[in-house]
Chain A
Amino acid sequence: KAGVTQTPRYLIKTRGQQVTLSCSPISGHRSVSWYQQTPGQGLQFLFEYFSETQRNKGNFPGRFSGRQFSNSRSEMNVSTLELGDSALYLCASSLAFGGGYTFGSGTRLTVV
């Protein structure tokens, strides 16, 4: 079966712009989580969605937001981009929370 698909793979944006990243989970998986990965901070939890509801949110500013659609696909949005937002953004899906995640290949965002 198809894995977790994230688009786009690479993105270059300018400070102040906004960006939307997309994640299609494995078919049948209803839980989608987003993580930010940087060399200095490692993998930091952004938020988790289950059946279109945000169940948990990490310690990120309000510029970071997300949503999940009825088909379980998820998007995350970052507004007013800052240089520090440059990172690999990873999406992971699972049947239910705690069941072991399947990660996508990530979106590499570079803010210049």
Chain B
Amino acid sequence: TQLLEQSPQFLSIQEGENLTVYCNSSSVFSSLQWYRQEPGEGPVLLVTVVTGGEVKKLKRLTFQFGDARKDSSLHITAAQPGDTGLYLCAGDRNTDKLIFGTGTRLQVFP
């Protein structure tokens, strides 16, 4: 059973387009993290959100944590080829175990 479902699974877009990735669960998380992973490397932490309704911005990336702390979204404005990678959400339920989402593979073409 996958606790964190991400959608879409794959996304292929042109440079300059906007996109949103969703991370959904039926469980409540005390915090949620977003990572980006490039081929041959480990995931790199982008942001941690901890408060329901919280919005964080990181340059062209906007992260939102749902009010009920069960879901999150990542919005990228004016995507660039350097944004290409696997985007992973990960939830913390205070069980000493970080649960990762199914992943969204993004390809941005120049």
A56 in contact with B96 given A42-B103, A100-B48 (CB within 8 Å): yes
B33–A103 contact, CB under 8 A? no
Give the residues from 91 to 106 in chain B that come closer than 8 angstroms, CB to CB, to chain A.
92, 94-103
Which residues of B sit under 8 angstroms from A100, Cβ to Cβ?
A: 33, 45, 48
A56 in contact with B44 given A98-B31, A98-B92 (CB within 8 Å): no
A35–B96 contact, CB under 8 A? no
Tally of contact residues, A, Cβ under 8 A: 23
A45–B42 contact, CB under 8 A? no
Cβ contacts A38-76/B at 8 Å (1 or 0 each) = 000011110010100001101000000000000000000
How many Å lie between the Cα of A50 and that of B97 in the bound state? 12
In the complex, number of A-B residue pairs with CB atoms less than 8 Å apart: 55
Which residues of B sit under 8 angstroms from A97, Cβ to Cβ?
A: 92, 96
* B40 on interface, CB distance cutoff 8 Å: yes
Q: Which of A98, A104, A106 has the most B CB atoms < 10 Å from its CB?
A: A98
B48–A56 contact, CB under 8 A? no
How many Å lie between the Cα of A12 and that of B27 in the bound state? 38
A21 to chain B, nearest CB (A): 13
Besides A97-B96, A98-B30, A98-B92, 14 other A-B contacts (C-beta < 8 A): A42-B101, A42-B102, A43-B100, A45-B97, A45-B98, A48-B96, A55-B96, A56-B95, A58-B97, A90-B43, A92-B42, A101-B43, A103-B35, A106-B41
